[in-house]
Structure 1
Amino acid sequence: MKKTVLTIAALTLLATTAQARTWDEIKQSGTIKIATEGAFPPFNILEGKKLTGFEVELAENLAKELGLKVQWVTQPFDNLLIGLQQNRYDFVIASHGITPQRAKAVDFSNPHYCTGGAIVAKPGGPLTAADLAGKSVAVQVGTTYLENVRKVSGVGDVKTFPKDTDAQAALMAGRVDAWVGDKFTGLDLVKAQKGKVKAGALLFNERIAMAVKKGNSSLLKELNSALDKSLNNGSYAKISSKYFGEDVRCRN
């Protein structure tokens, strides 16, 4: 999914001179600290006090491959990469789309899934980019969805919300004409609402990856190795099938 240019600039200013924990230091401690949002179903979501979702299970699988215990940290989406710069955790897995701007602030792993920004609307509502002309759109703040909606020619009022679930609720309440967000989240919304909304076209495609602090090459190498093992030994496919009914890995 997700970060605005302003936030990326702030990340550069907030970068600490202190070094992130290296792979050897993490391995010696026996525990890896992982951050996510916990408010982006089906990828990461707090259900009561339990953190679950595709990315949560995948990260726990990777930690198991690496022989580590997991300590989870949840943060509002806009704070996640800032906390990474401040060494508050070792890596972030929270549906961050790989963009050139973000790649200046953090180092990305190999992508752990591919997706796109989808339009969802009530029957008769806008379902293509052209249909968004003059229409109001709900989108989560600080995301690549917001950036891409603003690029649509003639788009009307773009309303931002702190959580994606808030943006979805605005659509269901009729306060906006459409919602734009992750295509898999959109499919879940359509399924849950049983005909009250319809999935439309994709505005863009994107590759999603985990983020480590800039320069933490030793940890990045281990994460990529663990991800490769998961993709090849069937564990990734099993987790993906549980949440999506298909394998959502990137194919190219």
Structure 2
Amino acid sequence: MKRFLFAFSVLTGLLLGAAVQARSLDEIKASGTIIVATEGAYPPFNFFQGSKLTGFEVELAEAMVKKMGLKIEWKALAFDALLAGLRQDRWDMVMASFGVTDARSKAVMFTNPYYCSGGLIVSKDATIKDAASLVGKTVAVQTGSTYMENVRKLVGVKEVKNFPQDTDARSALVAGRVDAWVSDRFVVKTATETNPGLGLKVGDYLFVERIAAAIKKGNAPLAAAVDKALAEVLADGTYKAISEKFIKEDIRCKS
């Protein structure tokens, strides 16, 4: 679920390392390590607990990579720099809740989707619950996200305010600086369950999407290996266990 603009800032925690050349699957296997980039600021999918990077996508990637007979070297940085870094050969793969779009598919290669979700409308006003009710309203979204892209398509929205992190967009709603926040279904679920006192009202889907790992264009053997590993963790119960641990339900795509 997410995002498309490319920028540059680095997240605290795991730092952006020196650039590396794009590697084939054979080269990755020879090294024994695959370099995977994520954001580290998008709970419950990827986030830091102290200095430890964790979340649904982090544990899923680690399980998949284990099936491939490899280890992971993680990179964590600002969301809107992730695909740009992939195209610049700084890492081998990105797992950061990227929704598959036609525009992104022209720039990178996507694996099979590892979960399906959508953008939910959230407000403190129960009457703001669908696209029509966003007319004349100010809406908070994350910079570079598919949420920003889809809200900007709506006719009649007063203003779209974008923020570097999705949690900043949510905070703007909580503080009353915007009328609504649009974010991922499961991010919204986590936010409302862990912060019931915020008074957030969950509305309808603005859109639905399929979420996949991104790989550099043309690296088909690596994509095939990742797809195979994903199929294996889906089949053996590993995926279900990780999904229920972080999200309390199995979020695999049903079709």
Confirm or deny that 1:234 pairs with 2:237. Answer: yes
> 1:125 Cα shift?
5.0
Identity %: 55
> 1:85 Cα shift?
1.0
Mapped partners of 1:142, 1:82: distance in 2: 12
Does structure 2 conserve the Cα–Cα contact (< 8 Å) formed by 1:161 and 1:167? yes
Confirm or deny that 1:180 pairs with 2:198. Answer: no
Partner of 2:112: 110
Mapped partners of 2:47, 2:244: distance in 1: 18
Confirm or deny that 1:149 pairs with 2:147. Answer: no
TM-score (norm 2): 0.91
Confirm or deny that 1:211 pairs with 2:214. Answer: yes
Does structure 1 conserve the Cα–Cα contact (< 8 Å) formed by 2:6 and 2:82? no
1:178/1:125 CA distance change after superposition, 3 Å? farther
Mapped partners of 2:243, 2:231: distance in 1: 15
- Aligned to 2:43, which of 25, 41, 44? 41
Partner of 2:134: 132
> 1:194 Cα shift?
1.0
Unaligned runs of 5+ in 1: 9-17
Mapped partners of 1:168, 1:192: distance in 2: 13
Mapped partners of 1:180, 1:211: distance in 2: 23
Confirm or deny that 1:2 pairs with 2:2. Answer: yes
> 1:3 Cα shift?
3.5
Partner of 1:12: none
TM-score (norm 1): 0.92
Partner of 1:250: 253
Mapped partners of 2:98, 2:246: distance in 1: 18
Mapped partners of 2:133, 2:236: distance in 1: 43
- Aligned to 1:194, which of 193, 196, 204? 196
One-letter amino acid of the structure 1 residue matched with residue 248 of structure 2: G
> 1:7 Cα shift?
4.4
Does structure 2 conserve the Cα–Cα contact (< 8 Å) formed by 1:125 and 1:177? no
Partner of 1:13: none
> 1:32 Cα shift?
0.9
Does structure 2 conserve the Cα–Cα contact (< 8 Å) formed by 1:132 and 1:155? yes
Partner of 1:62: 64
> 1:193 Cα shift?
2.4
1:93-108 correspondence runs (5 A): 93-108=95-110
The alignment yields a C-alpha RMSD, in angstroms, of 1.5
